[in-house]
Chains A and B, each alone.
Chain A
Amino acid sequence: EDQVTQSPEALRLQEGESSSLNCSYTVSGLRGLFWYRQDPGKGPEFLFTLYSAGEEKEKERLKATLTKKESFLHITAPKPEDSATYLCAVQALLGNQFYFGTGTSLTVIP
């Protein structure tokens, strides 16, 4: 069964304290892995897609990496405005569905 597990569930960081969020997945052939940011009461906002092991993508203070079993979202020197829930999703080679994790709630304290 295709599934996605994110850890930790919640993370509190001091401003400037770098850390990583984890997304581990089991899927019968990976077509793509996706990272989203979601602010309270809003829809998820697309950040990155990763397609193959070893691939990396960056956007401002965020960097996503992919291995054969997991992905990491590295946050470098975070700011309070980075506080949000970060969601991970995967799509299998066969089928149109996307499978989502339950997210990591990040709080960055000034």
Chain B
Amino acid sequence: DVKVTQSSRYLVKRTGEKVFLECVQDMDHENMFWYRQDPGLGLRLIYFSYDVKMKEKGDIPEGYSVSREKKERFSLILESASTNQTSMYLCASSTGDSFDVPYFGPGTRLTVT
């Protein structure tokens, strides 16, 4: 079974704090993704990575950065958290081959106060 884990299920941070969300996958997948999910807006892609140290911006990268130093780990960084970044954050990974399927982690509910 594919396993994608995220470092926290729930997180409460203050405005201006630097926030790290970590994601680890155990299936040797090439691609990893960070999404945020908000009511009525669905899943929106923040960043994705198709290889170690490689990253590409998604639809809403502003206010976020990412790091992929090892194949199995993909980190999302909020440089200075703001209240409009309160959301559900979902990490996913996929093989990147012809039968590519994204598998998701359990999500991190982040609240910025």
CB within 8 Å of B: which residues of A? 31-32, 34, 36, 41-46, 49, 87, 89, 91, 96-98, 100-103
Q: Does the CB pair A34–B107 fall under 8 Å? A: no
Q: Does the CB pair A43–B104 fall under 8 Å? A: yes
Chain B, interface size category, equals 20 to 34
Tell me which residues across on chain B come within 8 A of A41, comparing CB atoms: 88, 107, 109
CB within 8 Å of A: which residues of B? 4, 31, 33, 35, 40-43, 45, 48, 50, 58, 88, 90, 92, 94, 96, 99-107, 109
14 residue pairs from A and B, CB less than 8 Å apart: A32-B101, A34-B101, A36-B104, A43-B4, A43-B106, A46-B103, A87-B43, A89-B102, A91-B100, A96-B94, A96-B100, A97-B45, A98-B33, A98-B92
Q: 5 smallest A-B Cβ distances: which pairs? A: A102-B42, A43-B104, A100-B43, A43-B107, A44-B104
Chain B residue nearest to A97 in the complex (CB): B45
Q: Does the CB pair A102–B40 fall under 8 Å? A: yes
In angstroms, how far is the closest chain B Cβ from the Cβ of A50? 11
In angstroms, how far is the closest chain B Cβ from the Cβ of A48? 10
